[in-house]
A and B are shown apart, each in its own frame.
Chain A
Protein backbone atom coordinates (compact mmCIF):
# COMPACT_ATOMS: atom_id res chain seq x y z
CA UNK A 1 0.00 0.00 0.00
CA UNK A 2 1.13 3.56 -0.73
CA UNK A 3 -0.33 6.12 1.61
CA UNK A 4 -0.08 9.88 1.75
CA UNK A 5 -0.64 12.41 4.50
CA UNK A 6 -1.17 16.02 3.43
CA UNK A 7 0.14 18.89 5.55
CA UNK A 8 -0.99 22.31 4.43
CA UNK A 9 1.33 25.26 4.99
CA UNK A 10 1.48 27.93 6.18
CA UNK A 11 0.01 27.67 9.62
CA UNK A 12 0.41 23.94 9.97
CA UNK A 13 3.00 23.04 12.52
CA UNK A 14 3.70 19.83 14.22
CA UNK A 15 0.65 20.41 16.43
CA UNK A 16 -1.93 18.07 17.94
CA UNK A 17 -3.82 17.89 14.67
CA UNK A 18 -0.76 16.98 12.60
CA UNK A 19 0.38 14.44 15.20
CA UNK A 20 -3.06 12.81 15.25
CA UNK A 21 -3.25 12.78 11.48
CA UNK A 22 0.13 11.02 11.23
CA UNK A 23 -0.88 8.57 13.93
CA UNK A 24 -4.04 7.70 12.01
CA UNK A 25 -1.95 6.95 8.93
CA UNK A 26 0.67 4.96 10.82
CA UNK A 27 -2.04 2.58 11.99
CA UNK A 28 -2.27 1.43 8.35
CA UNK A 29 0.29 -0.78 6.64
CA UNK A 30 2.35 0.43 3.72
CA UNK A 31 4.71 3.19 2.66
CA UNK A 32 3.88 6.56 4.14
CA UNK A 33 4.72 9.80 2.35
CA UNK A 34 3.96 13.23 3.80
CA UNK A 35 3.29 16.00 1.30
CA UNK A 36 3.86 19.48 2.66
CA UNK A 37 2.47 22.28 0.51
CA UNK A 38 4.51 25.44 0.90
CA UNK A 39 7.58 26.30 2.89
CA UNK A 40 7.91 24.61 6.26
CA UNK A 41 10.36 25.25 9.09
CA UNK A 42 13.24 22.75 9.18
CA UNK A 43 12.27 21.40 12.59
CA UNK A 44 8.70 20.82 11.38
CA UNK A 45 9.96 18.87 8.38
CA UNK A 46 12.30 16.91 10.63
CA UNK A 47 9.47 16.01 13.01
CA UNK A 48 7.38 14.89 10.05
CA UNK A 49 10.24 12.77 8.73
CA UNK A 50 10.40 11.05 12.12
CA UNK A 51 6.96 9.68 11.43
CA UNK A 52 7.12 8.74 7.76
CA UNK A 53 9.14 7.02 5.04
CA UNK A 54 9.38 10.19 3.03
CA UNK A 55 8.55 13.87 3.21
CA UNK A 56 8.03 15.87 0.04
CA UNK A 57 8.02 19.62 0.50
CA UNK A 58 6.18 20.92 -2.54
CA UNK A 59 6.95 24.48 -3.52
CA UNK A 60 5.34 26.65 -6.14
CA UNK A 61 4.94 30.35 -6.77
CA UNK A 62 2.27 31.70 -4.43
CA UNK A 63 1.94 28.50 -2.43
CA UNK A 64 2.84 30.08 0.88
CA UNK A 65 -0.70 31.34 1.11
CA UNK A 66 -3.79 29.16 0.85
CA UNK A 67 -5.49 29.62 -2.52
CA UNK A 68 -7.83 26.70 -3.15
CA UNK A 69 -7.25 26.09 -6.85
CA UNK A 70 -3.48 26.46 -6.58
CA UNK A 71 -3.09 24.07 -3.63
CA UNK A 72 -5.42 21.63 -5.34
CA UNK A 73 -3.39 21.74 -8.55
CA UNK A 74 -0.14 21.16 -6.65
CA UNK A 75 -1.58 18.24 -4.69
CA UNK A 76 -3.01 16.74 -7.85
CA UNK A 77 0.38 16.96 -9.54
CA UNK A 78 2.41 15.47 -6.68
CA UNK A 79 -0.16 12.76 -5.89
CA UNK A 80 -0.46 11.69 -9.54
CA UNK A 81 3.27 10.93 -9.54
CA UNK A 82 3.00 8.79 -6.42
CA UNK A 83 -0.12 6.88 -7.45
CA UNK A 84 -1.35 6.43 -3.87
CA UNK A 85 -3.96 4.07 -2.45
CA UNK A 86 -4.94 6.36 0.41
CA UNK A 87 -4.61 10.12 0.95
CA UNK A 88 -5.37 11.47 4.42
CA UNK A 89 -5.99 15.06 5.47
CA UNK A 90 -6.81 16.83 8.73
CA UNK A 91 -10.22 18.27 9.55
CA UNK A 92 -9.54 22.00 9.10
CA UNK A 93 -11.62 24.11 6.70
CA UNK A 94 -9.09 23.88 3.88
CA UNK A 95 -8.60 20.13 4.11
CA UNK A 96 -12.35 19.62 4.12
CA UNK A 97 -12.59 21.80 1.03
CA UNK A 98 -9.86 19.90 -0.82
CA UNK A 99 -10.87 16.32 0.02
CA UNK A 100 -13.64 15.67 -2.54
CA UNK A 101 -11.98 17.78 -5.18
CA UNK A 102 -8.69 15.92 -4.97
CA UNK A 103 -10.57 12.62 -5.13
CA UNK A 104 -12.39 13.90 -8.21
CA UNK A 105 -9.14 14.97 -9.86
CA UNK A 106 -7.40 11.67 -9.12
CA UNK A 107 -10.36 9.53 -10.13
CA UNK A 108 -10.76 8.21 -6.59
CA UNK A 109 -13.39 8.33 -3.91
CA UNK A 110 -13.77 10.62 -0.91
CA UNK A 111 -15.21 10.78 2.58
CA UNK A 112 -14.92 12.93 5.66
CA UNK A 113 -14.85 12.95 9.42
CA UNK A 114 -13.27 9.52 9.86
CA UNK A 115 -13.08 8.62 13.54
CA UNK A 116 -11.22 5.35 12.96
CA UNK A 117 -9.45 3.74 10.02
CA UNK A 118 -8.92 0.06 9.23
CA UNK A 119 -8.03 -1.97 6.17
CA UNK A 120 -10.18 -4.80 4.87
CA UNK A 121 -8.71 -6.61 1.86
CA UNK A 122 -6.69 -3.45 1.23
CA UNK A 123 -9.86 -1.36 1.11
CA UNK A 124 -10.07 1.48 3.61
CA UNK A 125 -12.89 1.26 6.13
CA UNK A 126 -13.78 4.23 8.26
CA UNK A 127 -16.24 4.74 11.08
CA UNK A 128 -18.03 8.03 11.28
CA UNK A 129 -20.96 9.61 13.11
CA UNK A 130 -24.07 9.98 10.97
CA UNK A 131 -27.63 11.19 11.47
CA UNK A 132 -26.41 14.10 13.53
CA UNK A 133 -24.57 11.87 15.97
CA UNK A 134 -27.51 9.55 16.58
CA UNK A 135 -25.89 6.66 14.73
CA UNK A 136 -22.46 5.41 13.67
CA UNK A 137 -21.67 4.02 10.24
CA UNK A 138 -18.85 1.87 8.95
CA UNK A 139 -18.12 2.91 5.40
CA UNK A 140 -15.91 1.08 2.93
CA UNK A 141 -14.05 2.92 0.16
CA UNK A 142 -13.34 0.64 -2.75
CA UNK A 143 -11.87 2.91 -5.40
CA UNK A 144 -8.35 4.35 -5.36
CA UNK A 145 -7.18 6.64 -4.16
CA UNK A 146 -9.42 6.91 -1.14
CA UNK A 147 -9.14 10.56 -0.11
CA UNK A 148 -10.34 11.08 3.45
CA UNK A 149 -10.21 13.80 6.07
CA UNK A 150 -9.95 12.44 9.57
CA UNK A 151 -10.94 13.79 12.96
CA UNK A 152 -7.23 14.22 13.53
CA UNK A 153 -7.21 15.44 17.12
CA UNK A 154 -9.05 12.32 18.29
CA UNK A 155 -6.07 10.10 17.42
CA UNK A 156 -3.44 9.73 20.12
CA UNK A 157 -0.01 10.79 18.82
CA UNK A 158 2.37 7.98 17.86
CA UNK A 159 6.00 7.72 18.99
CA UNK A 160 8.67 8.62 16.40
CA UNK A 161 9.94 5.75 14.28
CA UNK A 162 13.39 4.21 14.77
CA UNK A 163 14.80 5.78 11.65
CA UNK A 164 13.77 8.97 10.05
CA UNK A 165 12.47 9.19 6.48
CA UNK A 166 13.88 11.09 3.53
CA UNK A 167 13.20 14.77 2.94
CA UNK A 168 12.92 16.14 -0.55
CA UNK A 169 12.14 19.64 -1.79
CA UNK A 170 10.25 19.67 -5.05
CA UNK A 171 9.37 22.65 -7.19
CA UNK A 172 6.04 22.06 -8.85
CA UNK A 173 5.03 23.55 -12.19
CA UNK A 174 1.35 23.31 -12.90
CA UNK A 175 0.24 22.27 -16.35
CA UNK A 176 -2.85 20.94 -18.10
CA UNK A 177 -5.75 20.03 -15.88
CA UNK A 178 -3.92 20.94 -12.71
CA UNK A 179 -3.49 24.55 -13.83
CA UNK A 180 -7.02 25.05 -15.04
CA UNK A 181 -8.66 27.31 -12.50
CA UNK A 182 -5.67 28.79 -10.73
CA UNK A 183 -6.87 32.35 -11.39
CA UNK A 184 -10.60 31.71 -10.97
CA UNK A 185 -10.75 32.27 -7.21
CA UNK A 186 -8.64 34.52 -5.06
CA UNK A 187 -8.75 34.96 -1.32
CA UNK A 188 -8.27 38.70 -0.92
CA UNK A 189 -8.87 39.26 2.78
CA UNK A 190 -8.43 37.16 5.91
CA UNK A 191 -9.96 37.94 9.29
CA UNK A 192 -9.01 36.01 12.35
CA UNK A 193 -10.06 36.50 15.91
CA UNK A 194 -7.30 38.20 17.93
CA UNK A 195 -4.38 35.87 18.44
CA UNK A 196 -3.01 35.00 21.84
CA UNK A 197 -6.06 32.97 22.77
CA UNK A 198 -5.97 29.20 22.66
CA UNK A 199 -7.79 27.54 19.79
CA UNK A 200 -11.13 26.13 20.87
CA UNK A 201 -10.00 22.68 19.76
CA UNK A 202 -7.04 22.83 22.13
CA UNK A 203 -8.78 24.50 25.08
CA UNK A 204 -8.64 22.77 28.48
CA UNK A 205 -11.78 24.43 29.80
CA UNK A 206 -14.74 25.67 27.75
CA UNK A 207 -17.76 27.69 28.81
CA UNK A 208 -20.47 27.41 26.15
CA UNK A 209 -23.79 29.24 25.89
CA UNK A 210 -26.99 28.44 24.02
CA UNK A 211 -30.34 29.78 22.93
CA UNK A 212 -31.62 29.86 26.51
CA UNK A 213 -29.36 32.86 27.17
CA UNK A 214 -31.73 34.90 25.05
CA UNK A 215 -29.28 37.43 23.63
CA UNK A 216 -25.71 38.62 23.22
CA UNK A 217 -25.38 40.42 26.59
CA UNK A 218 -25.43 37.26 28.71
CA UNK A 219 -22.38 36.09 26.75
CA UNK A 220 -20.58 39.05 28.34
CA UNK A 221 -21.49 37.68 31.76
CA UNK A 222 -20.23 34.27 30.70
CA UNK A 223 -17.01 35.98 29.64
CA UNK A 224 -16.21 36.89 33.25
CA UNK A 225 -17.00 33.33 34.29
CA UNK A 226 -14.78 31.98 31.54
CA UNK A 227 -11.91 34.32 32.45
CA UNK A 228 -12.10 33.19 36.05
CA UNK A 229 -11.56 29.61 34.97
CA UNK A 230 -9.05 30.50 32.25
CA UNK A 231 -11.57 29.07 29.80
CA UNK A 232 -12.43 29.65 26.16
CA UNK A 233 -15.95 30.61 25.17
CA UNK A 234 -18.09 28.66 22.73
CA UNK A 235 -21.74 28.39 21.68
CA UNK A 236 -24.46 26.24 20.21
CA UNK A 237 -25.56 26.71 16.67
CA UNK A 238 -28.77 28.39 17.80
CA UNK A 239 -26.74 31.14 19.50
CA UNK A 240 -24.51 31.57 16.43
CA UNK A 241 -27.43 31.67 14.00
CA UNK A 242 -29.05 34.33 16.15
CA UNK A 243 -25.95 36.43 15.61
CA UNK A 244 -25.15 36.68 19.32
CA UNK A 245 -21.64 35.34 18.76
CA UNK A 246 -19.53 34.71 15.63
CA UNK A 247 -19.97 31.50 13.58
CA UNK A 248 -16.55 30.11 14.49
CA UNK A 249 -17.64 29.80 18.12
CA UNK A 250 -20.00 27.00 17.13
CA UNK A 251 -19.38 23.58 18.63
CA UNK A 252 -20.93 20.45 17.13
CA UNK A 253 -21.45 18.44 14.00
CA UNK A 254 -20.76 21.40 11.75
CA UNK A 255 -18.77 23.36 14.29
CA UNK A 256 -15.66 22.67 16.30
CA UNK A 257 -14.94 19.23 17.72
CA UNK A 258 -13.48 19.98 21.14
CA UNK A 259 -11.73 17.86 23.74
CA UNK A 260 -11.41 19.86 26.97
CA UNK A 261 -10.99 18.55 30.50
CA UNK A 262 -14.14 20.48 31.39
CA UNK A 263 -17.08 21.61 29.24
CA UNK A 264 -19.71 23.78 30.91
CA UNK A 265 -22.91 23.99 28.83
CA UNK A 266 -25.12 26.86 29.90
CA UNK A 267 -28.69 27.05 28.55
CA UNK A 268 -27.89 24.49 25.86
CA UNK A 269 -30.39 21.64 25.43
CA UNK A 270 -27.89 19.09 24.15
CA UNK A 271 -29.18 18.24 20.69
CA UNK A 272 -27.32 15.27 19.19
CA UNK A 273 -25.66 17.58 16.66
CA UNK A 274 -24.23 19.66 19.49
CA UNK A 275 -23.11 16.60 21.43
CA UNK A 276 -21.16 15.42 18.39
CA UNK A 277 -18.74 18.24 19.05
CA UNK A 278 -18.06 17.31 22.67
CA UNK A 279 -17.70 13.54 22.42
CA UNK A 280 -14.04 13.83 23.49
CA UNK A 281 -14.65 16.13 26.47
CA UNK A 282 -13.55 14.58 29.78
CA UNK A 283 -16.12 16.12 32.10
CA UNK A 284 -19.34 17.69 30.84
CA UNK A 285 -21.56 19.71 33.13
CA UNK A 286 -24.56 21.92 32.51
CA UNK A 287 -26.70 24.67 33.96
CA UNK A 288 -30.24 24.35 32.66
CA UNK A 289 -33.72 25.06 34.01
CA UNK A 290 -35.05 21.84 32.51
CA UNK A 291 -33.92 18.69 34.33
CA UNK A 292 -35.12 16.65 31.33
CA UNK A 293 -32.82 18.47 28.90
CA UNK A 294 -30.84 15.81 26.97
CA UNK A 295 -27.54 17.50 27.86
CA UNK A 296 -27.83 16.09 31.40
CA UNK A 297 -27.64 12.54 30.00
CA UNK A 298 -24.06 13.39 29.08
CA UNK A 299 -23.12 15.22 32.25
CA UNK A 300 -21.25 13.81 35.22
CA UNK A 301 -22.99 16.41 37.36
CA UNK A 302 -25.35 19.28 36.69
CA UNK A 303 -27.23 22.20 38.12
CA UNK A 304 -30.95 22.65 37.47
CA UNK A 305 -31.30 26.40 37.87
CA UNK A 306 -31.88 29.58 35.93
CA UNK A 307 -28.49 30.75 34.65
CA UNK A 308 -29.44 34.32 35.59
CA UNK A 309 -29.43 33.44 39.27
CA UNK A 310 -26.25 31.39 39.04
CA UNK A 311 -23.61 32.93 36.79
CA UNK A 312 -22.85 36.07 38.87
CA UNK A 313 -22.45 34.38 42.28
CA UNK A 314 -20.73 31.38 40.68
CA UNK A 315 -18.11 33.66 39.15
CA UNK A 316 -17.50 35.28 42.56
CA UNK A 317 -17.18 31.91 44.31
CA UNK A 318 -14.76 30.64 41.68
CA UNK A 319 -12.65 33.80 41.92
CA UNK A 320 -12.22 33.09 45.60
CA UNK A 321 -11.51 29.41 45.10
CA UNK A 322 -9.07 29.80 42.24
CA UNK A 323 -7.13 32.89 43.36
Chain B
Protein backbone atom coordinates (compact mmCIF):
# COMPACT_ATOMS: atom_id res chain seq x y z
CA UNK B 1 0.00 0.00 0.00
CA UNK B 2 1.41 3.39 -0.97
CA UNK B 3 0.35 6.23 1.27
CA UNK B 4 0.92 9.94 0.92
CA UNK B 5 0.53 12.22 3.93
CA UNK B 6 0.13 15.98 3.50
CA UNK B 7 1.78 17.97 6.29
CA UNK B 8 1.11 21.61 7.05
CA UNK B 9 3.46 23.60 9.22
CA UNK B 10 1.67 26.18 11.36
CA UNK B 11 2.21 28.52 14.31
CA UNK B 12 1.90 26.55 17.53
CA UNK B 13 -1.87 26.70 18.08
CA UNK B 14 -1.55 25.98 21.80
CA UNK B 15 0.23 29.20 22.76
CA UNK B 16 -1.80 31.14 25.33
CA UNK B 17 -4.00 33.95 23.98
CA UNK B 18 -1.88 36.61 25.73
CA UNK B 19 1.10 35.60 23.56
CA UNK B 20 -0.95 35.66 20.37
CA UNK B 21 -0.82 38.80 18.23
CA UNK B 22 -1.84 39.68 14.71
CA UNK B 23 -0.90 42.20 12.08
CA UNK B 24 -4.23 43.63 11.08
CA UNK B 25 -2.84 45.27 7.95
CA UNK B 26 -1.43 42.08 6.48
CA UNK B 27 -4.31 40.09 8.03
CA UNK B 28 -1.92 37.46 9.36
CA UNK B 29 -0.81 36.21 12.75
CA UNK B 30 2.55 37.39 14.04
CA UNK B 31 4.93 34.59 14.94
CA UNK B 32 6.40 36.36 17.98
CA UNK B 33 7.67 33.80 20.47
CA UNK B 34 5.56 30.97 19.07
CA UNK B 35 7.21 27.90 17.58
CA UNK B 36 6.40 26.48 14.18
CA UNK B 37 4.91 23.01 14.53
CA UNK B 38 3.27 20.41 12.33
CA UNK B 39 -0.50 20.67 12.45
CA UNK B 40 -1.71 18.08 14.96
CA UNK B 41 -4.19 16.37 12.61
CA UNK B 42 -1.38 15.94 10.06
CA UNK B 43 0.59 14.21 12.81
CA UNK B 44 -2.44 12.03 13.56
CA UNK B 45 -2.51 11.24 9.82
CA UNK B 46 1.17 10.31 9.76
CA UNK B 47 0.64 8.12 12.82
CA UNK B 48 -2.27 6.38 11.07
CA UNK B 49 -0.07 5.83 8.02
CA UNK B 50 2.75 4.39 10.16
CA UNK B 51 0.37 1.97 11.86
CA UNK B 52 -1.09 0.90 8.53
CA UNK B 53 2.41 0.22 7.21
CA UNK B 54 3.22 -1.83 10.31
CA UNK B 55 0.14 -3.98 9.71
CA UNK B 56 0.20 -4.34 5.95
CA UNK B 57 3.52 -3.06 4.62
CA UNK B 58 4.02 -0.50 1.91
CA UNK B 59 5.54 2.92 1.66
CA UNK B 60 4.87 6.37 3.03
CA UNK B 61 5.60 9.67 1.31
CA UNK B 62 5.23 13.04 3.00
CA UNK B 63 4.35 16.23 1.15
CA UNK B 64 4.29 19.86 2.28
CA UNK B 65 3.57 23.15 0.58
CA UNK B 66 5.05 26.11 2.40
CA UNK B 67 8.11 28.22 3.15
CA UNK B 68 11.58 26.68 3.49
CA UNK B 69 10.94 26.18 7.23
CA UNK B 70 8.27 23.58 6.39
CA UNK B 71 11.16 21.23 5.69
CA UNK B 72 11.26 20.73 9.48
CA UNK B 73 7.85 19.03 9.36
CA UNK B 74 9.15 16.73 6.63
CA UNK B 75 12.37 15.96 8.54
CA UNK B 76 10.30 14.95 11.53
CA UNK B 77 8.28 12.64 9.27
CA UNK B 78 11.55 11.14 8.01
CA UNK B 79 12.68 10.69 11.60
CA UNK B 80 9.51 8.67 12.12
CA UNK B 81 10.59 6.57 9.12
CA UNK B 82 8.56 8.01 6.29
CA UNK B 83 10.19 6.69 3.11
CA UNK B 84 10.30 9.89 1.11
CA UNK B 85 9.61 13.59 1.55
CA UNK B 86 8.84 16.45 -0.78
CA UNK B 87 8.55 20.18 -0.22
CA UNK B 88 6.89 22.46 -2.72
CA UNK B 89 8.50 25.67 -1.68
CA UNK B 90 6.38 28.78 -1.46
CA UNK B 91 8.50 31.90 -1.70
CA UNK B 92 5.55 34.19 -1.03
CA UNK B 93 4.23 35.05 2.42
CA UNK B 94 0.73 35.54 0.98
CA UNK B 95 -2.24 33.83 2.64
CA UNK B 96 -2.89 30.58 0.81
CA UNK B 97 -6.47 29.43 0.85
CA UNK B 98 -7.52 25.78 0.62
CA UNK B 99 -8.32 26.07 -3.09
CA UNK B 100 -4.76 27.16 -3.82
CA UNK B 101 -3.31 24.53 -1.52
CA UNK B 102 -5.37 21.80 -3.19
CA UNK B 103 -4.24 22.98 -6.61
CA UNK B 104 -0.58 22.82 -5.60
CA UNK B 105 -0.82 19.53 -3.72
CA UNK B 106 -2.70 17.88 -6.60
CA UNK B 107 -0.05 18.98 -9.11
CA UNK B 108 2.73 17.70 -6.85
CA UNK B 109 0.96 14.38 -6.23
CA UNK B 110 0.53 13.79 -9.95
CA UNK B 111 4.26 14.25 -10.39
CA UNK B 112 5.18 12.09 -7.39
CA UNK B 113 3.34 9.08 -8.79
CA UNK B 114 0.47 6.80 -7.88
CA UNK B 115 -0.79 6.45 -4.32
CA UNK B 116 -3.42 4.19 -2.82
CA UNK B 117 -4.38 6.47 0.05
CA UNK B 118 -3.82 10.20 0.28
CA UNK B 119 -4.15 11.47 3.84
CA UNK B 120 -4.72 14.98 5.04
CA UNK B 121 -5.72 16.33 8.43
CA UNK B 122 -9.39 17.12 9.11
CA UNK B 123 -8.38 20.77 9.39
CA UNK B 124 -5.36 22.97 10.00
CA UNK B 125 -5.02 24.48 13.47
CA UNK B 126 -4.32 27.98 12.15
CA UNK B 127 -7.13 28.91 9.74
CA UNK B 128 -9.22 25.87 10.57
CA UNK B 129 -10.59 25.71 7.04
CA UNK B 130 -11.17 21.96 6.78
CA UNK B 131 -11.56 22.22 3.00
CA UNK B 132 -8.31 20.92 1.53
CA UNK B 133 -9.16 17.19 1.64
CA UNK B 134 -12.41 17.46 -0.28
CA UNK B 135 -11.02 19.93 -2.80
CA UNK B 136 -7.95 17.77 -3.34
CA UNK B 137 -10.14 14.72 -3.96
CA UNK B 138 -12.05 16.65 -6.63
CA UNK B 139 -8.84 17.92 -8.24
CA UNK B 140 -7.53 14.35 -8.41
CA UNK B 141 -10.89 12.90 -9.40
CA UNK B 142 -10.94 10.56 -6.39
CA UNK B 143 -13.56 9.61 -3.80
CA UNK B 144 -13.14 10.88 -0.28
CA UNK B 145 -14.07 9.96 3.29
CA UNK B 146 -13.67 12.46 6.14
CA UNK B 147 -13.05 12.29 9.92
CA UNK B 148 -11.38 8.89 9.65
CA UNK B 149 -9.66 7.60 12.79
CA UNK B 150 -8.77 4.00 11.89
CA UNK B 151 -7.70 2.26 8.68
CA UNK B 152 -7.55 -1.50 8.13
CA UNK B 153 -6.54 -3.28 4.92
CA UNK B 154 -9.23 -5.69 3.71
CA UNK B 155 -9.25 -7.59 0.44
CA UNK B 156 -8.29 -5.29 -2.40
CA UNK B 157 -9.48 -2.21 -0.55
CA UNK B 158 -9.52 -0.87 2.99
CA UNK B 159 -12.06 -0.55 5.77
CA UNK B 160 -12.22 2.79 7.50
CA UNK B 161 -13.74 3.86 10.77
CA UNK B 162 -14.94 7.41 10.78
CA UNK B 163 -16.38 9.65 13.46
CA UNK B 164 -19.95 10.92 13.28
CA UNK B 165 -22.23 13.13 15.35
CA UNK B 166 -23.29 10.38 17.72
CA UNK B 167 -20.72 7.66 17.29
CA UNK B 168 -18.92 6.05 14.41
CA UNK B 169 -19.33 4.29 11.07
CA UNK B 170 -17.47 1.59 9.22
CA UNK B 171 -16.83 2.40 5.57
CA UNK B 172 -15.63 -0.08 2.96
CA UNK B 173 -13.72 1.66 0.21
CA UNK B 174 -11.98 0.91 -3.03
CA UNK B 175 -8.58 2.43 -3.69
CA UNK B 176 -7.31 4.96 -4.49
CA UNK B 177 -8.98 7.61 -2.34
CA UNK B 178 -8.45 10.67 -0.18
CA UNK B 179 -9.16 10.54 3.55
CA UNK B 180 -9.16 13.28 6.16
CA UNK B 181 -7.93 12.14 9.55
CA UNK B 182 -9.33 13.04 12.95
CA UNK B 183 -7.82 12.55 16.38
CA UNK B 184 -8.45 9.39 18.40
CA UNK B 185 -6.73 7.65 21.30
CA UNK B 186 -5.33 5.18 18.74
CA UNK B 187 -3.53 7.72 16.56
CA UNK B 188 -1.86 9.93 19.15
CA UNK B 189 1.45 10.76 17.40
CA UNK B 190 4.53 8.85 18.51
CA UNK B 191 7.72 10.73 19.41
CA UNK B 192 10.77 10.17 17.20
CA UNK B 193 13.93 8.78 18.84
CA UNK B 194 16.84 11.19 19.18
CA UNK B 195 18.98 8.90 17.06
CA UNK B 196 16.38 8.85 14.27
CA UNK B 197 16.09 12.63 14.39
CA UNK B 198 19.84 12.87 13.85
CA UNK B 199 19.73 10.34 11.02
CA UNK B 200 16.88 12.18 9.32
CA UNK B 201 19.05 15.27 8.88
CA UNK B 202 21.03 13.33 6.28
CA UNK B 203 18.06 11.98 4.34
CA UNK B 204 17.11 13.71 1.10
CA UNK B 205 14.09 15.99 0.82
CA UNK B 206 12.92 16.73 -2.69
CA UNK B 207 12.58 20.46 -3.16
CA UNK B 208 10.34 21.74 -5.91
CA UNK B 209 9.49 25.23 -6.98
CA UNK B 210 6.06 25.90 -8.47
CA UNK B 211 7.59 25.74 -11.94
CA UNK B 212 8.72 22.17 -11.25
CA UNK B 213 5.09 21.13 -11.04
CA UNK B 214 4.07 23.27 -14.00
CA UNK B 215 2.24 25.94 -12.05
CA UNK B 216 2.62 29.68 -12.44
CA UNK B 217 1.97 32.57 -10.08
CA UNK B 218 -0.96 33.38 -12.36
CA UNK B 219 -2.53 29.96 -11.63
CA UNK B 220 -2.24 30.63 -7.91
CA UNK B 221 -3.69 34.09 -8.28
CA UNK B 222 -6.86 32.66 -9.84
CA UNK B 223 -7.54 30.28 -6.96
CA UNK B 224 -6.29 32.87 -4.47
CA UNK B 225 -8.74 35.51 -5.69
CA UNK B 226 -11.69 33.15 -5.28
CA UNK B 227 -11.52 33.39 -1.49
CA UNK B 228 -9.69 36.06 0.43
CA UNK B 229 -9.40 37.28 3.99
CA UNK B 230 -10.83 40.80 4.24
CA UNK B 231 -10.27 41.35 7.93
CA UNK B 232 -8.61 39.65 10.87
CA UNK B 233 -9.15 40.80 14.44
CA UNK B 234 -8.98 39.63 18.02
CA UNK B 235 -12.42 39.65 19.61
CA UNK B 236 -12.66 41.12 23.06
CA UNK B 237 -14.41 39.03 25.60
CA UNK B 238 -13.90 39.02 29.29
CA UNK B 239 -16.15 37.95 32.06
CA UNK B 240 -15.38 38.84 35.64
CA UNK B 241 -15.38 35.58 37.49
CA UNK B 242 -16.71 35.60 41.00
CA UNK B 243 -14.82 33.01 42.98
CA UNK B 244 -17.05 31.28 45.50
CA UNK B 245 -15.81 32.02 49.03
CA UNK B 246 -16.68 30.45 52.37
CA UNK B 247 -15.31 29.63 55.82
CA UNK B 248 -15.13 25.94 55.07
CA UNK B 249 -15.14 23.66 52.06
CA UNK B 250 -18.68 22.63 53.03
CA UNK B 251 -19.83 26.24 52.96
CA UNK B 252 -18.33 26.75 49.54
CA UNK B 253 -19.90 23.60 48.13
CA UNK B 254 -23.21 24.65 49.66
CA UNK B 255 -23.06 28.03 47.96
CA UNK B 256 -21.89 26.52 44.67
CA UNK B 257 -24.74 23.97 44.77
CA UNK B 258 -27.33 26.70 45.37
CA UNK B 259 -26.11 28.66 42.34
CA UNK B 260 -26.20 25.58 40.13
CA UNK B 261 -29.63 24.57 41.38
CA UNK B 262 -30.96 28.05 40.69
CA UNK B 263 -29.90 27.90 37.06
CA UNK B 264 -31.02 24.29 36.57
CA UNK B 265 -34.47 25.07 37.95
CA UNK B 266 -35.03 27.99 35.62
CA UNK B 267 -33.49 26.23 32.59
A residues with a Cβ closer than 8 A to B are 68-69, 92-93, 96-101, 103-105, 109-113, 125, 128-132, 134-143, 180-181, 183-193, 199, 204-205, 229-231, 237, 240-243, 246-248, 253-254, 260-262, 264, 271-273, 283-285, 291, 294, 296-305, 309-310, 313-314, 317-318, 321-322
Contacts and interface: CB of A to CB of B under 8 A. Distances in A.
B131 interface: yes
A147 B238 CA distance: 33
A241 B183 contact: yes
Contact of A317 (B226, B229, B257): B257
Contacts of B128: 113, 128-132, 253
Contact of A188 (B135, B170, B234, B253): B170
B129 A247 contact: no
Interface in B153-210: 159, 163-174, 177, 182-185, 188
Given A140-B230, A248-B167, 6 more contacts: A135-B233, A248-B165, A284-B239, A304-B243, A318-B260, A322-B261
Contacts of A273: 13, 125
A318 B260 CA distance: 8
Contacts of A181: 142-143
B134 interface: yes
Contacts, number: 267
A228 B52 CA distance: 44
Given A68-B143, A143-B226, A110 B20 contact: no
A268 to B, nearest CB: 14
- SS of A interface (majority): mixed
B174 A183 contact: yes
A314 B257 contact: yes
A113 B123 CA distance: 12
Contacts of A247: 149, 163, 168, 182-184
Interface residues of B, number: 89
Contacts of B36: none
A260 B267 CA distance: 9
A69 B20 CA distance: 40
Contacts of A302: 241-244
Contacts of B139: 104
A129 B13 CA distance: 13
A262 B17 contact: no
Contacts of B263: 205, 261-262, 283
A159 to B, nearest CB: 25
26 contacts: A68-B144, A93-B146, A97-B144, A101-B137, A105-B138, A131-B20, A132-B125, A134-B234, A135-B20, A135-B233, A136-B233, A139-B230, A186-B172, A189-B169, A190-B164, A193-B167, A204-B267, A248-B163, A253-B128, A271-B14, A273-B13, A283-B263, A294-B17, A297-B241, A301-B241, A303-B244
Interface in B238-267: 238-239, 241-244, 249-250, 252-254, 256-261, 263-267
